[in-house]
Copies of this chain bind each other. A is one copy, B any other.
Amino acid sequence: MIALAENRYGKGRVRLMKVTRHPQGHEVREWNVMVLLQGDFETAHTLGDNSKILPTDTMKNTVYSLARSSSATSMEEFAMELVEYLLSRNPQVSSAEVSIASTPWKHLTIDGAPYPTAFMRGSEERQTTHVERARGAAFRITSGLENMVVLKTADSAFSGYIRDNLTTLPETEDRLFGTSVKATWQYAAVSLDFDAVRHRIRETMLRAFAHHKSKSVQETLYAMGEAVLQQEPQAEWIELGLPNKHCLLVDLSRFGQENPNQIFVPTDEPHGYIEARLRRKA
């Protein structure tokens, strides 16, 4: 006999651009939204009975309609509103979750000043949030960022590791350390100045990355997470994923040239990958 176990459904890649028009200028927010529902959907799977199915097309419409009426300015608040809306109107839904990734836009700087109605898209870094609520339970809010690409050209070593018959990596006290940071943290509260906290957490991670005398990606990852938990009481835990995007020193001795850490080949593959979660001790 076969049974339906975990299941959920929803709508992904709902793209939204919201333009807020102040007298002194405009603001733009670009969000990519995903909505997922869990609930009493067994007969849809087993009998083709759609009577409890909210179409994913309607979820898309809900995102746009709510974006118009909402006064939320942070992704976290808007995601909470969406979750509430979906739970309140759909008794068959046991749990709703909303993920949002935002694309950075900045006012163009023209003649030294921000131009009020013209914008430039920023880097591939994305600010993210994931808000989930089971009916009758509390909100679970994790926020984060991904694809924050950074590089240290000093204060990065890697030595003292295991050496065996398959070791070919030379030990080094001075290498390039490039990575694309993915971070996720969980909030202790549902009522916060989310954008301000996010900004501080991001700055804290960057400061730790820049200042760290790194003996390994592991050690730098830990230093970044530790700094966040020490300085930001609203973050209950933080998880960091750091691919090691290797920059290979070119062997120029074959051509009679020295290469004192100047000429490198940046590579995308293969890459090291280090991930860890840091939490507060009881």
Seen from chain A, the residues whose Cβ lies within 8 Å of a Cβ on chain B are: 1-21, 26, 28, 30, 34, 36, 41, 44-58, 60-62, 64-65, 67-69, 89-90, 105, 108, 110-111, 115-124, 148-155, 158-162, 164-169, 176, 206-207, 209-211, 214-219, 221-222, 225-226, 229-230, 237, 243-244, 247, 250, 252, 254-257, 259, 261-281
Is the pair B270, A12 in contact by a Cβ cutoff of 8 Å? yes
Cβ contacts under 8 Å, A105 to chain B: 151
Known contacts A2-B280, A16-B266; 16 further A-B pairs (Cβ under 8 A): A7-B218, A7-B276, A8-B276, A9-B273, A13-B268, A28-B151, A49-B160, A50-B216, A56-B273, A58-B166, A64-B263, A108-B210, A110-B210, A120-B151, A121-B151, A124-B124
How many copies of this chain does one complex carry? 4
For the complex, give the distance between the alpha carbons of A159 and B47 in Å.
Answer: 13
Is the pair A218, B9 in contact by a Cβ cutoff of 8 Å? yes
Given the interface pairs A48-B215, A149-B121, A218-B41, the reply to whether A65 lies near B210 with Cβ below 8 Å is no
Cβ contacts under 8 Å, A53 to chain B: 161-162, 216, 218
Cβ contacts under 8 Å, A210 to chain B: 108, 110, 115, 117-118
Is the pair A276, B11 in contact by a Cβ cutoff of 8 Å? no
Is the pair A89, B164 in contact by a Cβ cutoff of 8 Å? yes
For the complex, give the distance between the alpha carbons of A2 and B150 in Å.
Answer: 25
Cβ contacts under 8 Å, A64 to chain B: 250, 252, 263, 265
For the complex, give the distance between the alpha carbons of A55 and B164 in Å.
Answer: 10
16 interchain pairs (CB within 8 A)? Answer: A2-B279, A3-B279, A5-B276, A8-B275, A10-B272, A21-B153, A26-B154, A28-B153, A48-B215, A52-B162, A56-B273, A64-B250, A64-B263, A65-B252, A65-B255, A117-B153
Is the pair B269, A15 in contact by a Cβ cutoff of 8 Å? yes
